[in-house]
């Protein structure tokens, strides 16, 4: 998995959905520093965050893990 690619994808989708890092963090019950870390490719979310994150960003878990939209 390419953490930088995933981070860029999360940032892009977050912005498309109109969330700030802080708003997304609040919805997930985490700190905005954690979201910032993901978006900079410095770490990945806990697996328990994947499904809620995918719902908030309106993408699939597979899209997040690939760092891009995957055609079905």
Split at pLDDT 50, 70, 90, the class of 72 is: low
Q: Of all residues in the chain, what percent are helix, strand and coil, respectively (each to 5)?
A: 65, 0, 35
pLDDT number for residue 53: 98
- Between the two ends of the chain, the Cα-to-Cα distance in Å is 20
pLDDT in tens, 29-66: 999 999 999 999 999 999 999 999 999 999 999 999 99
Split at pLDDT 50, 70, 90, the class of 1 is: confident
Residues 6+ positions from 43 with CB-CB distance below 8 Å:
3, 34, 37
pTM: 0.93
Greatest CA separation for the chain: 33
C-beta atoms surrounding 64 within 10 Å: 23
Taking residues 2-30, report their average pLDDT.
Answer: 98
């Amino acid at each position: 998995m390419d953490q930088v690619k995933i981070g860029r994808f999360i940032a892009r989708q977050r912005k498309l959905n109109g969330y700030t890092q802080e708003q997304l963090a609040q919805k997930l019950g985490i700190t905005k520093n954690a979201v910032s870390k993901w978006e900079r490719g410095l770490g990945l979310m806990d697996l328990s965050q994947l499904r809620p994150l995918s719902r908030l960003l309106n993408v699939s878990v597979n899209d997040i893990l690939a760092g891009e939209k995957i055609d079905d």
